Structure 1
Amino acid sequence: MIQSKKRWQIERPDEQLVEQLANDLQLSTMLAKILVARGVTTSEQATAYLHMDETNLHDPFLLYGMTETVECLKQAIKEQKQITVYGDYDADGVTSVTVLTTALERLGANVNFAIPNRFEHGYGPNKDYFEQLHTEGTEVLVTVDNGISGIEEIAFAKSLGMTVIVTDHHEMGEQLPEADAVIHPRHPKGEYPFGELAGVGVAFKLASALLGEPPLDLLEFVAIGTVADLVPLEDENRYAVKEGIRRLRRSKRPAIKALMQVSGHEQEALSEETIGFTIGPRLNAPGRLGDADPAVHLLKSKDEQQAMGIAEELNELNKERQHLVKEIAKEAEEQIQIRYGNQVPYVLVIEGEGWNPGVVGIVASRLTEKFYRPAIVLSIDHETGLAKGSARSIEGFDLYKELSKNASILPHFGGHAMAAGMSLEIADVELLRSNLNEQAKELLTDELLQPKLSIDVPLSLHEIDIAAIEALELIRPFGVGFPKPVFLLEQLETASVRKIGASKDHLKLEMADGDERLDAIHFGAGALADEMAPTIKLSLTGDLQINEWNGRKKPQMLVEDIKCDEWQLFDYRGVRDPARWLPLIPEQAAFVAFTEEAIHHFTPFLKDVPIQLIGRDTLSPVDSIVLIDLPQDEEQLKSAIGSSQANRIYLHLYVHDSMYFEKMPDRQQFGWYYSFLKKRGSFHLRDQMDMLSKHKGWKKSTIKFMTKVFYELEFVTLENGEITMMEPAEKRDLAEAPSYKKRQQQIKLEELLLYAPYQDLKKVFNSLRKIEAVEEEKLWI
């Protein structure tokens, strides 16, 4: 048995709907399963998903306040008033700034941009910065990706005499800012058909309204901001990202080419994952560490040399950000180990002096991922007496709701169920830690504290081929609202198992179902190879991709999680040197012997590891058991298997003197030897055994054994090596002799356990474990 790392939650799409969709649209069943699992169940719906175009974009004037905003900005352009686009310092913010400033420039506007510094101004609208912008000549202020919660700040900007337009997509409070116009896809007075635009999506709608048509070339930036901000990839978001990625792959923009070059990625293969893990982090990096302006300058650059210089700068900042995250995460984990050891609490509240507030959110994500606990990471500033930080959560613990219960000690906090930011007095950190853990104790069950893996695309091997995997491109992009499929392969045989990599720390499997084969790679799981017995059946989850090597393409699975529901039998019977198999035994395994002789033999190899003797020691239930020698009878083996209830059984079955190849002397041999002794009357075994052995071609051990049987049956006496017949001898069966019985039983045990093929051996242990009913003829003696 191999336990999965996560709690698998399997949803199976309706097979009838899958078949109908596959037949109607000539799709692979893999593609049809993904669509049905995502709620796309009719041919019409599927066609709409597969063939999106510009008509998927809604009329921007459906947004409340758009008409007034366009009129206001066009008048400002006409009068050449100074327009400042005020953005946010993340990837959504800088792409929003890029989209709107580019559109305004195309209309001849006098436009610049401003982005607050995370450390100097904080998030969103800032009075001091607004006053500075006004002093520098700003007459019209347009916020993008922020502003909806800046009630006081927007009022202050208005009091300075500036025209203020707010465009945002974040959650609205009960009160909206009193700006000249507020554009929000979920405006309470509006009826816009799609409310999940990213900040850059809102900026794009404004740009479209200003220009009179959608500036499709700017969808490159919309795709980046939308993916990076983790908004649902549904409705027009989906089209914007799909079309944006298509354009990004062939983009001539110096910024895109430079970002791909410095990150070492192929532009032609760019995907939503490239945006999420490569482009997004580099655009986020400057705003996390200081001034975000370089990210905008890069995106707007028209000079390849300039773009490459900025891209390299952002790449170095991203490396610095990664280093900071690594160092803070290391300190945080050390703090957790010192404070809690192996007893990790329900909620982690970790603080450190001087930790960079720009990266603590990433560290919180790392801690949540590693420990699967809600995590709050706080940066301590003793000069101000404040702790500022970010939090990430798990299913079942609504961060915003639970933090709200501590509002008395949290003067500033905000967020949603899964992520939040906050600041509080340093003196209140311990109280927050205590309160949240008490609250979590009432909410988080053992089940909720095990990470969940949602699986919705079970497959058979015959459904997987190159064409089916390549066709996945038709339904990309994957993301929030349309998650990347997690494929499931169930109960497949392992044709081969091996460790790969320089350090042998990765696992490569060849899975089989009849004649079908599929390679599977599980990175970082090389140790699992030692837990996999021959012919084991595995269930795997993960992603499918195409592996191309020397011009040949093969499907393969990148494994995310793996499990085996059956018990396992590990066969080390033929490996005489213990040094070759002992390192493969789990640390907590129980070593079991059936004879004192085996304990004496193995004690030098096992050193301080105790060996339990069946019949003497009480064997408790364990996950793994090692049978180091051959049992003397069936009952001993039943006792070991029944008492241990082990899921992993390791067999060595040491035998000092094997009887299997010696065989049992037949009755003809016993008869001749008996007649021989009777004729002789007496026979000196020690002096004359060599001659008898040569005469009959018998081994000396055979002669000794037959002599012992006759002695036990009282056919002969034995004194000082001389055998004397007894008269008259009572007629008795050979099987009555204890040594005959013991040898007969050992031969059968060796045949059954020591020399049986692996599959026959597993059947024996299956019957002992009562895992499957054995209806065939009885296997036991």
Structure 2
Amino acid sequence: MTTKVWRRRAVGEAPRGWPAHVHAVVQRLYAARGVSTPDGAEHKLARMLAPTLLGGMDRAVALLRQAIDEDWRIIVAGDYDCDGATGTAVAVRGLRLLGAKHVGHVVPNRFVHGYGLGEALVASLQPAPDLIVTVDNGVASVAGVAAAHARGIRVLVTDHHLPGDVLPDADAMVNPNLSGDGFPSKALSGVGVMFYLLLGLRAAMRDAGRFPGEVPDLGVLLDLVALGTVADLVPLDFNNRVLVEAGLRRMRAGRACPGIAALIDVSNRSVASVAATDLAFAVGPRLNAAGRLEDMSLGVACLLTDEVAIARRYAEQLSAINQERREVQAGMVDEAERMVAGMSHVDAVGVALFDPGWHAGVVGLVASKLKEKLHRPVLAFAPAGDDSDELRGSARSIPGFHIRDALAEIDARHPGLVLRFGGHAMAAGLSLKTVDFGRFAAAFDAVARTHLDDERLQASIHTDGELDYRDHTLDLARQLRHAGPWGQGFPPPLFENVFECASWKPMGSRHLRLQLRHTQGGAPLDAVMFGVYDGTPPPSRLRAAYELAVNDWQGRESVRLLLTHMEAV
């Protein structure tokens, strides 16, 4: 494996006041992430930020109250990723809980309608609804909102993406990232914004005496909120950790909606011990696969059904699509790696790749894989359609390079080169003319060179330091699984140690299974490393970065090291 710069996270303020049953290593891990006292890990729903702090709430709530009071036909317009699918399900289920009688949904097909609330999607709505509520999109849908208004349709935009220079003329808009919005957390996902809007709507209806009996319980939606938040890779700040932890508790208690329960089951994960990492690496990808290769309507249907048997059938279909996605992705990544190896401009800082045979739904995953391999910002492009003269690209970035701002800089330097773009600091999407790919690739590299120096282009691995051999215990592994919740911005614990390799063998065609002996002593430890075996034996003495995990095999739990990087020492 390639050499990386090893860096250790600073512990920060010394932990204090923790209960005796919380392992000292767990306390240290929290402190390294800015949480030095137990209250910083008390993810109680009562401590989440108030919905009243979110800008645009009053206007949006008033619009939804009118829609419910007057029995408007409401269409929820989602997005074709996991955040959009869960947000759509939250919106439909939540609005029905609060009394809306005519709620439907639509999800754009990326190959037919493009991204977001576009003109084509609006035109497809027959008959025209009274109100469109967007979820996880809309802040850039200037033309789509105008097309809706031309048909007499009101539009409520809920989104979390960064706004462009021009906002759509929506009837109401809720987005914590709008300029001037004072909401303390800018990290809400699309599903999180929708959940907050429903909380605000319920509060207004309750204050107006609309619930003479029991107030509807929106907590039933938290499993969906947790899944969408984790899968969208938004930073898990305290507020998002509150939402995710509440959703995980609901899942572990056996109260997840049938669709999520089925997706966990077909992923060979345990509902009773499900963790945020399971949502990120097993459940989320199965939902995302539908939007990448086919139609996310299947994913939304899985999340909306209340029939266990139907949910299981949907989950199995999604799992099969995900397997197909993995095969397509593997082929595209191999092609991309060969392409990079054969480049004459291998010194490119910003890497842009295009192949006419690539699948537009999978280019984001290709960009992500290449970004990890090259430690460079990467853009991967595919044809927008069979007869299209446009390309659709997906970007993934590295720390220190805000990819959405970089695209805005290119747009300012070369007006008209980029047709459409949007996204976040670490991921973005865009469209451009096929004939302009070469010009764009040069412009992207030029902008990357102005912002990235040699130090930032050096791949680093951040660990939580060494783990004493006596701490390789099942008790600590269990505590780590249920601590956190870990994710983007609140990274999973990663330890480093020097080991002797007592034995090893291939596992499948690309994986390794090893027995590692800690240099300090102790019994050999079972370890695995995925996707790295190329026929070369591992070093006899190695430095490894690893997660301390629980291996649950046929109902028996044991400690296993999940290696993410190793080097000979």
For the aligned pair, the TM-score class normalised by the smaller chain equals 0.7 to 0.9
Aligned match of 2:296: 292
**2:148, 2:440 → 1: CA distance?**
36
Per the TM alignment, residue 556 of structure 1 is displaced from its structure 2 partner at its CA by: 4.1
Partner of 2:517: 510
Range moving further from structure 2, 432-441 or 82-91: 432-441
Amino acid at match of 2:518: M
Mapped partners of 1:87, 1:40: distance in 2:
35
Q: Deviations over 1:373-408 (max 9, x none)?
A: 332221146844333221223335443444445432
* Residue 377 (1) aligns with residue 383 (2): no
Determine which of 270, 277, 300 is the counterpart of 1:273. Answer: 277
SS class of match (1:257)? helix
Q: In the aligned structure 2, how far is the partner of 1:274 from the partner of 1:221?
A: 14
Q: What residue ranges of structure 1 are gaps of 5+ in the alignment? A: 566-781
Contact residue 226 and residue 241 of structure 1 kept, 8 A: yes
* CA separation of 1:235 and 1:488: change in aligned 2, threshold 3 A: same
Contact 1:30/1:464 (<8 A) preserved: no
The whole-number CA distance in structure 2 between the counterparts of 1:194 and 1:502 is: 43
Matched, 1:150 2:136: no
3-state SS, counterpart of residue 353 of structure 1: coil
Distance, in Å, in 1 between the alignment partners of 2:285 and 2:538 is 38
> Is the Cα–Cα contact under 8 Å of residues 60 and 156 in structure 2 kept in the other structure?
yes
Deviation at 1:484, TM superposition (A): 0.6
2:156 is aligned, of 165, 183, 204, to 165
Deviation at 1:120, TM superposition (A): 1.4
Aligned to 1:308: 312
Higher relative contact order (CA closer than 8 Å, sequence separation 6+): 2
Determine helix, strand or coil for the equivalent of 1:513.
coil
Aligned match of 2:14 = 17
1:7 to 5, 9, 13: 5
Does the CA contact (< 8 Å) of 1:505 and 1:526 recur in 2? no
**Does residue 248 of the first structure (1) align with residue 251 of the second (2)?**
yes
Within 5 Å, give how 1:268-667 maps onto structure 2: 268-340=272-344, 345-380=348-383, 383-407=387-411, 408=414, 409-438=417-446, 440=448, 444-489=452-497, 494=500, 497-501=502-506, 505-513=512-520, 516-517=522-523, 519=525, 521-523=527-529, 524=532, 531-532=539-540, 539-547=543-551, 555-563=559-567, 565=569
* Alpha-carbon distance in 2 for matches of 1:547, 1:526: 25
> Structure 1 residues 11, 63: CA separation in 2 closer, same or farther (over 3 Å shift)?
closer
Taking a change above 3 Å as real, the CA distance of residues 173 and 461 of structure 1, as seen in their structure-2 partners, is same
Residue aligning to 2:213? none
- Is the contact between residue 400 and residue 415 of structure 1 (CA under 8 Å) also seen in structure 2? yes
Structure 1 position 37 matched with structure 2 position 32? yes
Q: Once the two structures are superposed, what CA deviation does each residue of 1:688-734 show, in whole Å capped at 9, x if it has no partner?
A: xxxxxxxxxxxxxxxxxxxxxxxxxxxxxxxxxxxxxxxxxxxxxxx
1:136 is displaced (CA, Å) by: 0.6
- Partner of residue 210, structure 2: none
**TM-aligned CA deviation for residue 60 of structure 1:** 2.0
Q: What residue is the counterpart of 1:676 in the other structure?
A: none
Q: Report if the CA contact (8 A) 1:486-1:542 is conserved.
A: yes
Q: Distance in 1 between matches of 2:103 and 2:22?
A: 49
Change (3 A) 1:438 1:181: closer
| Code of the aligned partner of 1:37 | A
1:205 aligns with 2:182: no
Structure 1 CA distance for aligned equivalents of residues 546 and 502 of structure 2: 17
* Closer, same or farther: CA 327–404 of 1 in aligned 2, 3 Å: same
1:53 aligns with 2:51: no
Of the candidates 173, 177, 183, which is equivalent to residue 168 of structure 2?
177
Aligned residues with identical type, % of pairs: 33
Give me the TM-score of the superposition, normalised by structure 1: 0.64
Contact map agreement 1:386 1:425 (CA 8 A) in 2: yes
**Pairwise CA distance, 1:528:** 7.3
Residues 63 and 172 of structure 2 are in contact (CA less than 8 Å); yes or no, is this contact kept in structure 1?
A: no
**2:85 aligned to 94, 97, 104, which one?**
94
Report the count of equivalent residues.
546
The residue identity in structure 2 corresponding to 1:508 is Q
CA contact (8 A) 1:298 1:311 kept: yes
Cα distance in 1 between the residues matched to 2:482 and 2:262:
27
- Paired residue for 2:207? none
- 1:553 and 1:307, CA in 2 relative to 1: closer, same or farther beyond 3 A? closer
Distance 2:248 2:386 in 1: 46
Distance change (3 Å), C-alpha of 1:326 and 1:529? closer
Q: For residues 178 and 530 of structure 1, what CA distance do their matches in structure 2 show?
A: 59
Q: Secondary structure at the match of 1:357?
A: coil
1:476 to partner: Cα distance: 2.4
Query: How far apart are residue 52 of structure 1 and its match?
Result: 2.3
1:207-262 deviation line (CA, Å, top 9, x unaligned): 22333466111101000110011112123211111110121131363212322333
Q: 1:237 aligns with which of 221, 224, 240?
A: 240
Q: Structure 2 residue aligned with 1:127, among 103, 114, 119? A: 119
More helix by share: 1
**Cα root mean square deviation, aligned:** 3.0
Which of 185, 193, 214 matches 1:194? Answer: 185
What one-letter code is carried by the residue in structure 2 that aligns with 1:328?
A: M
Take 2:409 and 2:175, find their aligned partners in 1: how far apart are those partners?
29
Alpha-carbon distance in structure 2 between the residues aligned to 1:530 and 1:163: 61
| Structure 2: distance between partners of 1:63 and 1:124 | 22
Q: Which amino acid aligns with 2:257?
A: R
